[in-house]
């Protein structure tokens, strides 16, 4: 980058207002890091929040901000699957077809959606509403089969729920994930968050799913806790006191560990 103000030196075709806003945001991004180049990934998300994909102008803009070549920016942008080379739909609908989700029904969901929408992997519906994708494991396997809409979780899907979801998206209706915010935002809004600009929606909560709590529920029912530490703070966490209904003292033995003393059991392993 030269010493000229970006406005006069730019090769991008952004209008003055857009460019000024982009420049301010990109500057804020670069300030987060000891080395401004670290800002490239968030900056590419920022570009997508304006253009809906990594456009030619977006590439030039990043290059100008960081003082690197457009080729260097392109090399990075093409490496990562979330950076789109074509204008993305308002919603990315990603069906997990990695092994676990696939066999649990993900393949069927993808096939059904693909037929229903008339598009294949990484293609966008004519109305520009939906870009359909096969996605890799999204760390929600305990909720398989999983569909992601603009990277919010839609857990335990079926072909019927997924097509109904897609229909709503095409009609422009609000949809709510099963875990996440109260509603799904647009691809551009999402991209702005991924650029590191908090949209203030963290407190929205579609609920903590049962699988997330599966082990904890059992521990609560049976009065199981981790051992107490010697110098821990007063423990306000255990909600069941030994001898009360639901505690292990009252519970009938149900698992082998209730009746057998494990040979290598250590003190404190059975908490109560």
Partner 1 sequence: MTLTPVLTDTWDKDRSWRLATYERAGGYAGLKKALKTEPADLVQAVKDSGLRGRGGAGFPTGMKWGFLPPPDGGPRYLVVNADESEPGTCKDIPLMLASPQHLIEGVAITSYAIGCDHAFIYVRGEVLHVYRRLLNAVEEAYKAGYLGKNILGSGYNLDVTVHAGAGAYICGEETALLDSLEGLRGQPRLKPPFPAVAGLYARPTVVNNVESIASVPAIVAKGADWFSSMGTEKSQGHGLFSLSGHVTRPGQYEAPLGITLRELLDLAGGVRQGHELKFWTPGGSSTPIFTAEHLDVPLDYESVGAAGSMLGTRALQIFDETVCVVRAVSRWTDFYAHESCGKCTPCREGTYWLKQVLHRIEAGEGQDSDLDLLLDLCDNILGRAFCALGDGATSPITSSVQLFREEYQAHIDGHGCPFDPSASALFAYTPKTRTPGALAGAGAGGH
Alpha helices in 195-269 (DSSP H): 210-222, 256-259
Residues of this chain, 213-272, that bind ligand FES according to CB under 6 A: none
Smallest separation, CB 102 to ligand FES (Å): 8
Q: Decide whether 12 or 97 has the Cβ nearer to ligand FES.
A: 97
Element (H, E) at 110: helix 107-117
Based on the shown chain and the rule CB under 8 A, indicate whether residue 202 belongs to the binding site for partner 1: yes
Pairing verdict, β 152-154 and 147-149: antiparallel
Residues of this chain, 14-53, that bind partner 1 according to CB under 8 A: 32-35, 37-42, 44-45
The Cα–Cα gap between 50 and 73 comes to 17
Q: Decide whether 70 or 108 has the Cβ nearer to partner 1.
A: 108
Based on the shown chain and the rule CB under 6 A, indicate whether residue 162 belongs to the binding site for ligand FES: no
Based on the shown chain and the rule CB under 6 A, indicate whether residue 100 belongs to the binding site for ligand FES: yes
- Given a contact cutoff of 8 angstroms between Cβ atoms, the answer to whether 175 and 29 are in contact is no
* CA atoms in the 13 A half-sphere facing the CB of 29: 26
Kindly state the greatest CA–CA separation across the chain.
79
User: What is the spatial order of strands in the sheet that 130-135 belongs to?
Assistant: 123-124, 130-135, 91-96, 147-149, 152-154
**Dihedrals φ, ψ of 169, to 5°?**
-60, -40
Residues of this chain, 147-166, that bind partner 1 according to CB under 8 A: 148, 150-153, 156, 158-159
Collect all residues with Cβ–Cβ distance below 8 Å to 267 and sequence separation of at least 6. none
Binding footprint of ligand FES, residue count (CB under 6 A): 10
- C-alpha distances in Å from residue 199, one per residue of 82, 163, 191, 262: 20, 29, 11, 51
Q: Give the interface segment with partner 1, choosing from 6-14, 17-25, 168-176, 209-217 (CB under 8 A).
A: 209-217
Smallest separation, CB 42 to ligand FES (Å): 25
Based on the shown chain and the rule CB under 6 A, indicate whether residue 137 belongs to the binding site for ligand FES: yes
Residues of this chain, 59-98, that bind partner 1 according to CB under 8 A: 66, 75-76, 78-83, 94, 97-98
Based on the shown chain and the rule CB under 8 A, indicate whether residue 117 belongs to the binding site for partner 1: no
Task: Using CB under 6 A, pick the residue from 108, 129, 141, 194 that binds ligand FES.
Answer: 141
Pairing verdict, β 91-96 and 147-149: antiparallel
Based on the shown chain and the rule CB under 8 A, indicate whether residue 141 belongs to the binding site for partner 1: yes
Residue 237 contact partner, candidates ligand FES, partner 1, none, CB within 5 to 8 A by sort of partner: partner 1
Percent of the chain as helix, strand, coil, to the nearest 5: 40, 10, 50
Based on the shown chain and the rule CB under 8 A, indicate whether residue 233 belongs to the binding site for partner 1: yes
Residues of this chain, 77-96, that bind ligand FES according to CB under 6 A: 96
Q: How far is CA 177 from the centre of its chain?
A: 11
Q: Give the interface segment with ligand FES, choosing from 11-19, 139-147, 185-193, 257-265 (CB under 6 A).
A: 139-147
Give the interface with ligand FES as residue ranges (CB under 6 A). 96, 98, 100-101, 137-138, 140-141, 144, 146
């Amino acid at each position: 980058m030269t010493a000229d103000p970006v406005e006069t030196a730019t090769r991008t075709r952004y209008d003055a207002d857009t460019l000024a806003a982009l420049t301010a945001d990109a500057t804020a991004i670069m300030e987060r890091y000891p080395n401004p180049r670290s800002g490239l990934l968030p900056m590419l998300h920022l570009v997508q929040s304006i253009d809906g994909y990594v456009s030619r102008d977006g590439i030039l803009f990043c290059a100008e901000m960081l003082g690197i070549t457009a080729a260097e920016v392109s090399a990075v942008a093409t490496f990562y699957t979330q950076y789109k080379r074509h204008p993305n739909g308002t919603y990315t609908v990603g069906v997990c077809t990695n092994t676990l989700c696939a066999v649990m029904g993900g393949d069927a969901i993808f096939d059904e959606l693909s037929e229903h929408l008339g598009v294949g992997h990484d293609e966008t519906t004519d109305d520009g509403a939906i870009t359909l994708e096969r996605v890799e494991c999204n760390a929600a396997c305990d909720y398989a089969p999983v569909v992601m809409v603009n990277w919010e979780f839609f857990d335990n899907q079926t072909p019927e729920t997924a097509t109904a979801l897609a229909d709503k998206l095409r009609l422009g209706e609000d949809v709510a994930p099963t875990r996440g915010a109260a509603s799904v935002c647009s691809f551009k809004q999402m991209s702005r968050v991924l650029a590191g600009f908090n949209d203030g929606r963290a407190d929205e909560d579609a609920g903590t799913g049962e699988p997330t709590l599966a082990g904890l529920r059992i521990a609560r029912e049976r009065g199981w806790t981790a051992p107490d530490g010697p110098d821990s703070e007063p423990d306000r966490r255990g909600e069941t006191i030994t001898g009360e209904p639901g505690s292990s003292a009252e519970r009938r033995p149900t698992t082998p560990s209730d009746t057998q003393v494990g040979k290598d059991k250590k003190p404190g392993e059975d908490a109560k």
